[in-house]
Structure 1
Amino acid sequence: MRVPPLSGQLFGVSLISLWYASNIGVLLLNKYLLSNYGFKYPIFLTLCHMMACSILSYIAMSWMKVVPLQTVRSKVQFMKITSLGLIFCLSVVGGNISLKYLPVSFNQAIGSTTPFFTAIFAYLMTLKKETWLTYMALVPVITGVMIASGGEPSFHLFGFIMCISATAARALKSVLQGVLLSSDAEKLNSMNLLMYMAPVAVGFLLPASIIMEENVLGITIQLAREDSSIVWLLLFNSVLAYLVNLTNFLVTKHTSELTLQVLGNAKGAVAVVISIMIFKNPVSITGMLGYSLTVIGVILYSEAKKRSKRDI
């Protein structure tokens, strides 16, 4: 086995560090803005994220050549991307709304159930069956969330529903992406897909924010006049939202699938610990045991999936 040069190792460590920082940073900053700061406009916040993703994706690919620019080849492909953009939009909005009501630790516990919803949608839409071992690994995932819900001091039903909906939408988008963009002619890498989905999301979010978050632009301008830090917080938050997608793509490209799974599981646990330290939200032993069981279930699910692919 050839040891990569020091520069390659430093690049890998830096990339993973940036991936962690952007993922955890945007999550914590969303929570701060929506709960602690009092900026109670999750749809507008998501709109800012999507605008940044649209603009920065275009700059990264058209000017900086981070990845090759892929084109939309037909109206049918565009309609498929639009459908994915709507679901992607719903998943991000639902996640941001949930952060108004739930602590980050509980939000992450619910988000860990993504494999459960992915397995369900994969079966319903493609009749794809997993091995019995893979399905068994999902039992502790769901059991853990049920235990964590019962032991969560800050449980909020609406926030819980929004978080579950966001997690299900994220899984549905993943499955649909494989179904709708399955041909070689239609496949797009995640960064090109984001560049095309983000403007679609903006198109859905703009009227939704105007209708559902009355005078949000005027209120934001007034807040900026009183405290200019809100402008910098929104800008920084939006750039972080793009970095989440960019670094996720780069980490996927430069590491193995197994490494990505391990890092992802650890990232959730790190986010929980940091959020508890920063926001001081109350936690119970029951809740932490439930979350731990969920993480163990996700790890078992990943191992079962890896084994089933090896056996094919």
Structure 2
Amino acid sequence: MASASNGRFFTIGLVASWYSSNIGVLLLNKYLLSSYGFKYPILLTMCHMTACSLLSYLAIAWMRMVPMQTGEPSFHLFGFIMCVAATAARALKSVLQGILLSSEGEKLNSMNLLLYMAPIAVVFLLSATLIMEKNVVGITIALARDDFRIVWYLLFNSALAYFVNLTNLLVTKHTSALTLQVLGNAKGAVAVVVSILIFKNPVSMTGMLGYSLTVCGVILYSEAKKRSK
């Protein structure tokens, strides 16, 4: 009974950590992209994935928080396609994460899975940044010379994105891919409310209806899950 209660509190803590870090990234992204005027979302996302790669490696190889896990050393087309698809599609990504985190054949832990996923995302985002956001590096350096706070904003935003992705994987592992999607929808509604309180954004009746339906859907899912148990 005690172990079940501890497991429940652990899961609640994971979800709370995921929510808080996720909403923090969303709000900081909004500040950088809108209020601050740093209009380079692809570079910002690439910074996120770079932080995920570096911090995952530091946590595994240097701090030894979890053991380093390897995949098959030879190239495997199916694994490559799955990894690319996981980076490209949110819903499919969640399902694949659940399989990799729980299947007997792989059973990667969350840090190692993030370590292997993030560099692939960096490669794709770097290409997109160079093509779609030309001279963004020079512009960012110029901005840093005028206001060095942008460097701290980007570093903090990237580090926070690491915790978002790590807790995302942990929530997937300890709940399910479907639960993650439902929680993600609810998180969107919560983030909007927090954003309204901070940035005073106007909300239309259509938006309010959408948020209300989202919350109702989360409640119905929770009730259905309780009944299934």
TM-score (norm 2): 0.79
DSSP 3-state at the match of 1:219: helix
Q: CA deviation at 1:237?
A: 0.3
Give the match for residue 286 of structure 1.
206
Query: Where in structure 1 are there 5+ consecutive unaligned residues?
Result: 91-168
Which amino acid in structure 1 is aligned with residue 56 of structure 2?
S
Q: 2:118 aligns with which of 191, 198, 221?
A: 198
* Structure 2 partner of 1:243: 163
- Give per-residue Cα distances to partners, 1:229-267, cap 9 Å, x unaligned: 1100000000000011223344566x6669978866654
1:20/1:173 CA distance change after superposition, 3 Å? closer
Instruction: Letter of the 1:205 partner, please give it.
Output: L
| Cα contact 1:53–1:241 (8 A) shared by 2 | yes
- Deviation for aligned residue 1:307: 5.6
Name 1:41's counterpart in structure 2: 40
**Could you say which residue in structure 1 is the equivalent of 2:57?**
58
RMSD: 3.6
**Aligned to 1:65, what secondary structure does the other structure show?**
coil
2:81 is matched with: 83
Please say if 1:225 is aligned against 2:139.
no
CA separation of 1:226 and 1:39: change in aligned 2, threshold 3 A: same
**What aligned pairs does 1:1-312 form with structure 2 within 5 A after superposition?**
1-2=1-2, 17-77=16-76, 79-90=77-88, 169-176=89-96, 184-250=104-170, 267-301=187-221, 303-304=223-224
Which piece of structure 1 moves more, 224-233 or 174-183? 174-183
- C-alpha displacement at 1:82, in angstroms? 3.8
Q: Identity of aligned pairs, percent?
A: 69
Cα separation, partners in 2 of 1:238 and 1:82, compared to 1, 3 Å: farther
Q: Structure with the greater relative contact order (CA < 8 A, sep ≥ 6): 1 or 2?
A: 1
Equivalent residue letter for 1:66: M
TM-score, structure 1 normalization: 0.60
CA distance in 1 between partners of 2:223 and 2:24 (Å): 28
Shifted more, 193-202 versus 243-252: the winner is 243-252
CA distance change for structure 1 residues 16 and 184 in 2, over 3 Å: closer, same or farther? closer
User: Which runs of no fewer than 5 residues in structure 2 stay unpaired?
Assistant: none
How many residues were matched structurally? 227
